[in-house]
């Protein structure tokens, strides 16, 4: 009988918390902006003669748009997706995550997380301080160049991110 009273008391203690809970509202990456961002990113790299794939993911790391340049290697598809996923998941640029993992022994195993790729080229897309998605780029001759293209693509759609 005392277990029943304990369970009832616990349920009553939690009731005010549940009653005061609100629906969580989050911003996310809309398809139209994802497509435009992928296009702008591939174009930014093409202007430098880099054939890349750009993948745009939503805040949960799910693909919203992917665009592969005509001469981009097949490996760039998965590399760009993994960079975008890593950036969205960690809410940070993959170059910064990679640098942190290199310098911090406690973070060295981040690359062991399934789906993570610790190479430059993944950049979070933000509305204010809120991450709504990310863009990942693969195929330029260096992660820093992938990241430059990602930032150029974000800059092109920035005005639409409200």
CA distance 66 to 83: 12
Percentages helix, strand, coil for the chain, rounded to the nearest 5?
55, 15, 30
**Model pTM score:** 0.86
3-state helix/strand/coil string of 20-89: HCCCCCCCCCCHHHHHHHHHHHHHHHHCCCCCCEEEEEECCCCEEEEEECCCCCCHHHHHHHHHHHHHHH
Per-residue pLDDT of the chain (162 residues; tens, 9 = 90+): 554 554 455 555 555 556 678 998 899 999 999 999 999 999 999 999 999 999 999 999 999 999 999 999 999 999 999 999 999 999 999 999 999 999 998 898 998 999 999 999 999 999 999 999 999 999 999 999 999 999 999 999 999 998
Tokens of 103: 């310098």
Structural domains of the chain ordered from first start = 26-160 (3.30.450.150)
- pLDDT at position 21 is 85
What strands, in cross-sheet order, belong to the sheet with 122-127? 63-68, 53-58, 130-138, 122-127
Residues 139 and 76 sit within 8 Å (Cβ to Cβ): yes
To the nearest 10°, the Cα dihedral for 32, 36, 42, 44?
Answer: -160
Best CA proximity match to 120, nearest among 103, 107, 104, 136: 136
């Amino acid at each position: 009988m005392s277990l029943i009273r304990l369970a009832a008391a616990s349920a009553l203690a939690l009731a005010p918390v549940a009653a005061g809970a609100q629906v969580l509202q989050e911003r996310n990456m809309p398809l139209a902006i994802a497509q435009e961002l992928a296009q702008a990113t591939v174009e930014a790299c093409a202007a430098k003669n880099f054939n890349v794939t750009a993948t745009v993911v939503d805040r949960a790391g799910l693909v919203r748009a992917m665009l592969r340049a005509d001469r981009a290697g097949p490996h760039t598809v998965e590399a760009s997706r993994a960079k975008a996923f890593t950036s969205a998941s960690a809410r940070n640029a993959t170059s910064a995550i990679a640098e942190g993992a290199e310098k911090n022994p406690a973070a060295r195993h981040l690359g062991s997380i399934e789906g993570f790729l610790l190479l430059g080229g993944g950049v979070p897309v933000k509305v204010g301080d809120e991450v709504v998605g990310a863009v990942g780029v693969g195929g330029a001759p260096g992660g820093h160049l992938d990241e430059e293209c990602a930032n150029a693509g974000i800059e092109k759609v920035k005005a639409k991110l409200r």
